[in-house]
Amino acid sequence: MIKRLWNWFWSPTSRYTWGAIFVVGGVAGIVFWGGFNTFMEHTNTLHFCTSCHEMSGKPYAEYKKSVHYRSASGVRAICSDCHVPKDWTAKLIRKVRATNELYHKIIGTIDTPEKFESHRLEMAERVWASMKASDSRECRNCHAYEAMDFHKQSRRSAKKMQEGLEEGKTCIDCHKGIAHKLPKGYVDEDDD
Ligand code: HEC
Ligand code: HEC
Ligand code: HEC
Ligand code: HEC
Check residues 39 and 117 and name the one with the higher pLDDT: 117
Strand, helix or coil at 31? helix
pLDDT at 192 > cutoff 50:
no
Going by alpha carbons, the residue nearest to atom 21 of ligand 3 is: 157
Average pLDDT, the chain: 85
DSSP 93-153: HHHHHHHHHHHHHHHTTT-SHHHHHHHHHHHHHHHHHHHHHTTSHHHHTT--GGG--GGGS
Going by alpha carbons, the residue nearest to atom 22 of ligand 3 is: 157
Mean pLDDT calculated for residue range 138-145: 92
**What residues are in contact with ligand 2 under a 6 Å CB criterion?**
67-68, 71-73, 75, 77, 81-82, 136, 138-139, 141-143, 171-172, 175, 178
Please state the pTM of the whole predicted model. Answer: 0.88
Mean pLDDT calculated for residue range 9-30: 74
pLDDT at 95 > cutoff 70:
yes
Which residues are CB-contacts of 131 (< 8 A; sequence separation ≥ 6)? 137, 138, 139, 170, 171, 172
Q: Write the pLDDT tens digit of every residue in 32-57.
A: 777 777 777 878 888 888 888 876 66
